[in-house]
Amino acid sequence: MIIVTGGAGFIGSNIVRALNDAGEDRVLIVDHLGTSEKWKNLADLRFLDYEHKDEFLAKVERGAFDHDVRAVFHMGACSSTTELNADYLMANNYAYSRRLAQRFGQKDGLRFIYASSAATYGDGSEGYSDSHDAVPKLRPLNMYGYSKQLFDLWALRTGFIDHAVGIKYFNVFGPNEYHKADMRSVAIRAYFQVKKTGGVRLFKSYRPEFAHGEQKRDFIYVKDAVRITLHFLEHPECNGLFNAGTGAPRTFRDLVAAVFTALGKEPSIEFIDMPEGLEKRYQYYTCAETAKLRAAGFVDGCSPLEDAVRDYVQNYLEKDPRGEAALETN
C-alpha cells in the first residue's frame, strides 16, 4: 500500500493520478476535507480508502500501519503563506510531520517522501542551493516557510533525512488547484481574469532593476513536479533534500502572455499597486538549483512554460466544469 497525506490536495491528488496511470490503486488517501470543494479532486481517482488526518495519525501511533506499507508521500500541510496562526502551523506542519516521521522512519524498506518548500529560501539572499549545509542559514519570510524549515532542520539534526527525501517545490501550477483560494497560482488567476474581463492585472515593481511584470519565478508544471517526486520512489538509493523546479525562471509577463496565447487572445496587462506592506515581503526572483536533482538521475527536464500553460488551459481549465462555477466567484 502507498499512503498519500494531503491526497485530496493539489500536488497530492496529482501524485495519486500518476500512480493510477501507472496501474497502482492500492492507495490510502489522508486529508482534512472540511467545507472546501477539494473533495472533487478525488472524484475520478482510484484508491483503497480515505482517512481523516487526525484519525490516521492516532492509528499510526497505535501501530495500525506497521506492515504492508511501501511508501508514504507526506504532502499534507497548511500551505497558506499568509496564515498568521503560528501555533496552528507549528502543530499542523511541523509537529504532525515529526510524529509521522518518527513512526515510519523506523520501518526498513519503507520510502518516506515529504513536501518541503521553496518558501524556506526567504528572499533568496542565501541562494537557492538544496545542499544540506545551506539549510541552517536560510531565513523564511513567512510562518509557513518557517514551519517547513523547522522540519527540514529536524530531519537533518536527527539523521532522518539520510533515509528519506524532502522536496522543495518551487512555484507549482496546474490541474486541481481550484480549492486553494488565495494560494492558487498566477496561471489560474490570470485565466479567470482573462475570461471575465479580457485583461490581467499584475503587481507593479518597486525595485528599479525589475521593470513592471519582469519579476521572475521558477514556475514548474505540476505534472513535472510529480515526475520528480515519483522519481525518488523508484530510486531508494537517493536521499536528502532536493529542489523541484525548472532551473529556468521566467517573468510574470511571460506567464500571463502564455495564458493569452492559449486562449487565442492578444495580451492586455494592467499593472497595479501592491497591498500595503507586501513590498517588504515580496520575492522578486526565485530559481531552483537543479544540479543535485540531475545527479540523482532526474535528467528528463521539465516542460517549457508555454507548453505547460497551453496544456493546463486547453485540456483542463477550458474543459473542467469547475471552471465555469469558479468564474462566478473570481
Residue 51's region, left for phi above 0, alpha for psi from -120 to 50, else beta, is beta
C-alpha cell at 227: 515526475
Give the span between the Cα atoms of 139 and 288, in whole angstroms: 16
> Does residue 144 have an active-site annotation?
yes
In this structure, are strands 49-52 and 71-74 parallel, antiparallel, or unpaired?
A: unpaired
Give the span between the Cα atoms of 247 and 232, in whole angstroms: 19
Catalytic residue among 180, 282, 284, 285: 180
Q: H/E/C letters for each residue in the chain?
A: CEEEECCCCHHHHHHHHHHHHCCCCCEEEEECCCCCCHHHHHCCCCCCEEEEHHHHHHHHHCCCCCCCCCEEEECCCCCCCCCCCHHHHHHHHHHHHHHHHHHHCCCCCCEEEEEEEHHHHCCCCCCCCCCHHHHHHCCCCCHHHHHHHHHHHHHHHHCHHHHCEEEEECEEECCCCHHHHHHCCHHHHHHHHHHHHCCEEEECCCCCCCCCCCCEECEEEHHHHHHHHHHHHCCCCCCEEEEECCCCCEEHHHHHHHHHHHCCCCCCEEEECCCCCHHHCCCCCCCCCCHHHHHCCCCCCCCCHHHHHHHHHHHHHCCCHHHHHHHCCC
The C-alpha cell 492509528 sits at 59
> Does residue 88 have an active-site annotation?
no
Residues with Cβ within 8 Å of 55's Cβ and at least 6 positions away in sequence, in order, are none
Catalytic residue among 144, 169, 178, 191: 144
Point out the residues that are catalytic.
144, 180
